[in-house]
Amino acid sequence: MLDMLKLDRPLAVFDIESTGVVPQRDRIVEIAVLKITPDGESRNTVRRLNPQIPIPPSATAIHGISDADVADCPVFADIADKLLAYLDGCDLAGYNIQGFDIPLLECEFKRVGLDLKTSERRVIDVYNLFCKLYPRTLTAAYKFFCGKDLEGAHGAAADTAATWEVLLGQLAKHPELPRESAELAQFSDNSDPDALDRNRRFKWNGDDVVVNFGKYSGRTLKDIAENEPGFLRWIIKSDFPDDVKEIASNALIGKFPVKRAASGTSSENK
């Protein structure tokens, strides 16, 4: 193993499961750390934690951890000192840790008065390596699926024709892909099921709608409407999409989305 990667100090490969994807609001429910020393020794530790906030069903659907599973587990404050000591002197590695895991871990330490000091560590993000090794541009996709160089890239006509060829190439290379357009559209949909609007400015957090951006991120829409209505008026007057403005406008007059348990969709509470 170490003939492929030379280490001059321990490397902590870690992953986090959480209540959601907003570091300032969400909490860790499970953390695993694989610590590898320069001499090749490794140690794997896994801890489940009580996040002290409800775990939304959408999060449980991803990692399989429910409120009941962590009810008797320690909270982050209980393990923070030992975890910080365990990571002392380690570089860090993981998948998309720069975009999510590190910010969330930093926030958790900050809440208990500790500092992870990631600026002093080397960070190996395997997701970023993947993106650099396998670019997701149309030119790269055309080369991969069609075996040809894309001539006239970034011209609308060339890009349109290439996109069609790439789609046919994907279908040919992956027989598991749906063949009906409706099913293929559903398969390709990467939208957030908890988002109320296309730009994810408002999201479901359990049965509550929360703000998902800016200084009020994580606070419920009802709380903002009651205590910070100027924020919603600012949204209405600013350059936000119509669906975002509609949510803000309705909240100001006491109309809030109601989650439908059966379908996961929402309607306005008249």
Q: For residue 64, what are its two tokens?
A: 């399989």
- The residues of the chain that CATH labels 3.30.420.10 are 11-130
Tens of pLDDT, residue by residue over 24-65, are: 889 999 999 999 999 999 999 999 999 999 999 889 999 999
Q: What is the 3-state secondary structure (H, E, C) of the chain?
A: CCCCCCCCCCEEEEEEEECCCCCCCCCEEEEEEEEECCCCCEEEEEEECCCCCCCCHHHHHHHCCCHHHHCCCCCHHHHHHHHHHHHCCCEEEECCHHHHHHHHHHHHHHHCCCCCCHHHCCEEEHHHHHHHHCCCCHHHHHHHHHCCCCCCCCCHHHHHHHHHHHHHHHHHHCCCCCCCHHHHHHHHCCCCCCECCCCCCEEEECCEEEECCCCCCCCEHHHHHHHCHHHHHHHHHCCCCHHHHHHHHHHHCCCCEEECCCCCCEEECC
Pick the CATH number of 11-130 from 3.40.50.800, 3.30.420.10, 3.40.50.1980, 3.10.20.340: 3.30.420.10
Position 106 scores a pLDDT of 95
**d(C-alpha 27, C-alpha 4), whole Å:** 35
pLDDT at 264: 47
- Give the pLDDT confidence score for residue 144 in this predicted structure: 94
Q: For residue 93, what pLDDT is reported?
A: 97
| pLDDT on residue 193 | 84
In the prediction, which pLDDT does 36 show? 96
> Cα–Cα distance between 175 and 191 in angstroms, integer?
24
Tokens of residue 19, six digits: 């209540």
pTM: 0.73
Name the residue among 101, 100, 93 with its Cα closest to residue 129.
93
**Mean pLDDT for each 10-residue chunk of the chain (270 residues)?**
84 96 90 95 96 92 96 98 97 95 96 92 95 93 95 92 96 95 90 87 90 90 96 95 95 89 49
- What is the pLDDT, as a whole number, of residue 263? 42
- Confidence (pLDDT) at 266: 58
Q: Angle formed by the axes of helices 76-87 and 102-111, to 10°?
A: 120
Q: What is the pLDDT of residue 260?
A: 64
d(CA 29, CA 261): 24
Q: Which residues pair with 258 in a beta bridge?
A: 267
